[in-house]
Structure 1
């Protein structure tokens, strides 16, 4: 593949590390992503044994398409560090990475992902406060947030007015999406609009939310995903720019609307 013609405004089916190696140094102004959380390797979350009512049928019980999300933790950490190294290489001196992850309690101890981000220039931690949730463990309170690490090179600056946002953002999880763990569009739109970058990369593109947000602000995007099904889903979504076109509305499910 050749950069940029085989990458820009396309969804690339393949391994993100391999694909990012084909992107030149300093050529992508902004990376926005959320990797798989290794959720099936977690302890005490109800996913591994199927506890928890509606979660018995949750999509993440089965893992992602083409990826089961269950690696030995040390391997997972090294994989994510390798990914971040590639992301950091391809952003310029005024570029940034917004890396969304989730802290977990593992065997009674907080796992705050410091093993992954250690050594990278984390400029700020943004808290994405989600509405609602479920907790299977009586040993700690219900987690209601995820963490976005702003990893920035020295010359990165926000667009005019963006610095007035606080560092706690409240957005409801996206529920009308067949992907098991989608971003809310509004969350990514805030990030994209806060950066002057012309090209936005998401190496774990999933259903294409980052591409939709980039498109909404007239930016180019690069989407990479290991699932061919998710790439096709993202391609369909970028055509419509609307999640509601991807799954049936409540009225359609009830048979009240006809195509």
Structure 2
């Protein structure tokens, strides 16, 4: 059964022992938890951080009548995070998170960092200010099948970008290089988390590597952990929201979440 650790129950000494963290969901701030973990104790990081959507014009969440789409729950932010930082603070935070992930992965490890490009004030935010200086090996585009668009001024947005940030010795698992760099998956429809990504997407990422221990510092509803478990890999998930951590634990225990 999955362990659930909270910052009230854990100490820095515990975080520094990798074997105590395997197959565990940690309820804590991601930076705080990662900074207490040992160097090169992780094989792979797979994550999708909050996108700071509330600090935006919000046009992608408005319908053609000027109102907000009722199902776009991200306009309210996340549990324990309002998703509305000043842009420079958001960039600084995400660069700090990537720096910790890079420290944690081994010499043959990699980070799959999922984010979304957007146009803000007429300028493209392609996340270069976040990933600049990190060893990016490739970008992968993944496309959601279907969707609903209420805004007549915009084509339906359907893609997101995964940055493959890799240490020098990282190699794909045998035959995984047959995949192209544009992927298509059906979005999650029955997940109560406001921004889940498809389980099949994360299973492809993990199965394309030789990683035995996978970290997601923004684990949300636990999709990365569930994918790792399905593939007989070890996982470590971190999230600041107690509700999301409980959601992940229920999924990992094959329990219904209500």
Matched residue SS, 1:17: helix
User: Which residue of 2 is the match for residue 189 of structure 1?
Assistant: 203
From 171, 180, 187, the counterpart of 1:166: 180
Contact in 2 for aligned 1:128/1:148 (Cα 8 Å): yes
Residue 129 (str. 1) matches residue 143 (str. 2): yes
Matched residue SS, 2:113: strand
Matched residue SS, 2:106: coil
In structure 2, C-alpha distance between the alignment counterparts of 1:49 and 1:73, rounded to whole Å: 25
Contact in 1 for aligned 2:22/2:236 (Cα 8 Å): yes
**Equivalenced residues, count:** 243
User: Which residue of 2 is the match for residue 15 of structure 1?
Assistant: 29
In structure 1, C-alpha distance between the alignment counterparts of 2:110 and 2:87, rounded to whole Å: 26
Residue 148 (str. 1) matches residue 162 (str. 2): yes
Q: Normalising by the residue count of structure 1, what TM-score does the alignment of the two structures yield? A: 0.88
In structure 1, C-alpha distance between the alignment counterparts of 2:22 and 2:193, rounded to whole Å: 23
User: Which residue of 2 is the match for residue 235 of structure 1?
Assistant: 249
Cα deviations by residue, 1:150-170 (Å, 9 ceiling, x for unpaired): 000000000001000000000
From 246, 253, 258, the counterpart of 2:257: 246
In structure 2, C-alpha distance between the alignment counterparts of 1:202 and 1:51, rounded to whole Å: 38
User: Which residue of 2 is the match for residue 207 of structure 1?
Assistant: 221
Cα deviations by residue, 1:201-256 (Å, 9 ceiling, x for unpaired): 00000000000000011110000000000000000000118xxx436xxxxxxxxx
Deviation for aligned residue 1:65:
0.5
Q: Normalising by the residue count of structure 2, what TM-score does the alignment of the two structures yield? A: 0.89
In structure 2, C-alpha distance between the alignment counterparts of 1:69 and 1:48, rounded to whole Å: 17
In structure 2, C-alpha distance between the alignment counterparts of 1:50 and 1:39, rounded to whole Å: 19
User: Which residue of 1 is the match for residue 49 of structure 2?
Assistant: 35
User: Which residue of 1 is the match for residue 130 of structure 2?
Assistant: 116
Deviation for aligned residue 1:49:
10
Higher strand share: 2
Structure 2, unmatched stretches of 5+, are 1-10
Worse-matched range after superposition: 16-25 or 94-103: 16-25
Matched residue SS, 1:39: coil
Contact in 2 for aligned 1:44/1:136 (Cα 8 Å): no
